[in-house]
Structure 1
Amino acid sequence: MHRTFWRLWTAAGLSSLADGVLKVALPLVAVGYTREPALVAGLAFAFSVPWLLFALPAGALVDRLDRRRAMLGANVLRGALVAVVAVLTAYGGGSIWALYVVALGAGTAETLYDTAAQSIVPQVVGRADLARANGRVYAVEQTANEFAGPPLAGVLVTAGVLAAFVTPVVLWAVAVAALLFVRGSYRIPRGDRPATLRADIAEGLRFLARHKVLRTFSLMVGTFNFATGATFAVLVLYAVGPGSAMGLSGPAFGLLTATTAAGGLAGSLLAETVERRLGRVRALRVSWLAGGLTVGVLAVTADPYVVGAAFFAGGAGILVSNVVMVSLRQRITPDRLLGRLTSSHRLVAWGTKSLGALAGGALAQAFGLHVVFVVMTVLAFSVVGGLFVVTEDALRAAEPAVPRHPA
Structure 2
Amino acid sequence: MRALFSARLGADFTRLWTAAAVSNIGDGITMAAGPLLILSLTTDPALVGGAVFVQQLPWLLFALISGAYVDRLDRRKLVVTVNTLRAVALAALTFAVAADILTVAMIYTVFFLLGTGETLADTASGAFLPAIVAPDRLATANARLMATFTIANQFVAKPLGAWLFVIAAAVPFGVNAMTFAVAAALMATIRPIPAQPSAPRRGLHAEITDGVRWLWEHRLLRTLAVSTGLANVAFCAAFATLVLYARQRLGLSDVGFGFLLTTFAVGGLLGTVLAPRLLRIVGACTLLRAGLLVEGITHTTLAITTTPLVAATILIVFGIHTMVWGVIVVTLRQRMVPESLLGRVGSAYSLLDVGGAALGSLLGATLAHLWGLTTPFWIAAAVMALLATATWRPLRQASAA
Deviations 1:19-74 (A, max 9, x none): 11112211101111111111011111011111100100110010011111111111
Contact 1:293/1:311 (8 A) holds in 2:
no
Unaligned runs of at least 5 residues, structure 2: 1-8
Separation in structure 2 between the aligned mates of residue 22 and residue 76 of structure 1, nearest angstrom:
16
Within the candidate set 270, 274, 277, 1:270 is matched to 274
Within the candidate set 81, 88, 94, 1:86 is matched to 94
Deviation at 1:211, TM superposition (A): 1.1
2:218 partner amino acid: H
Equivalent residue for 1:198?
205
Within the candidate set 54, 61, 78, 1:53 is matched to 61
Contact 2:83/2:181 (8 A) holds in 1:
yes
Unaligned runs of at least 5 residues, structure 1: 400-407
Deviations 1:345-387 (A, max 9, x none): 0100111111011111121122111221111112134333313
Matches within 5 A, 1:292-307: 292-307=296-311
Equivalent residue for 1:70?
78
Equivalent residue for 2:234?
227
Contact 1:246/1:302 (8 A) holds in 2:
yes
Residue 41 (structure 2) pairs with residue 33 (structure 1): yes
Deviation at 1:188, TM superposition (A): 4.5
Deviations 1:289-320 (A, max 9, x none): 23444423211102110100100011001110
Separation in structure 2 between the aligned mates of residue 90 and residue 189 of structure 1, nearest angstrom:
49
Separation in structure 2 between the aligned mates of residue 13 and residue 217 of structure 1, nearest angstrom:
27
Residue 392 (structure 2) pairs with residue 387 (structure 1): yes
Residue 140 (structure 2) pairs with residue 132 (structure 1): yes
Equivalent residue for 2:289?
285
RMSD: 1.4
Equivalent residue for 2:346?
342
Contact 2:131/2:193 (8 A) holds in 1:
no
Residue 329 (structure 2) pairs with residue 322 (structure 1): no
Matches within 5 A, 1:179-258: 179-185=187-193, 187-192=195-200, 194-240=201-247, 244-258=248-262
The structure-2 alpha-carbon separation of the partners of 1:381 and 1:160, relative to structure 1 and needing over 3 Å to count, comes to: farther
Separation in structure 1 between the aligned mates of residue 126 and residue 143 of structure 2, nearest angstrom:
12
Q: Secondary structure at the match of 2:392?
A: helix
Contact 2:164/2:172 (8 A) holds in 1:
yes
Separation in structure 1 between the aligned mates of residue 197 and residue 292 of structure 2, nearest angstrom:
37
Q: Secondary structure at the match of 1:205?
A: helix
Aligned residues: 392
The structure-2 alpha-carbon separation of the partners of 1:230 and 1:275, relative to structure 1 and needing over 3 Å to count, comes to: same
Percent identity between the aligned chains? 37
Q: Secondary structure at the match of 1:161?
A: coil
Separation in structure 1 between the aligned mates of residue 386 and residue 142 of structure 2, nearest angstrom:
26
1:387 partner amino acid: W
What TM-score does the superposition give when structure 1 sets the normalisation length?
0.93
Separation in structure 2 between the aligned mates of residue 259 and residue 186 of structure 1, nearest angstrom:
43
Residue 20 (structure 2) pairs with residue 12 (structure 1): yes
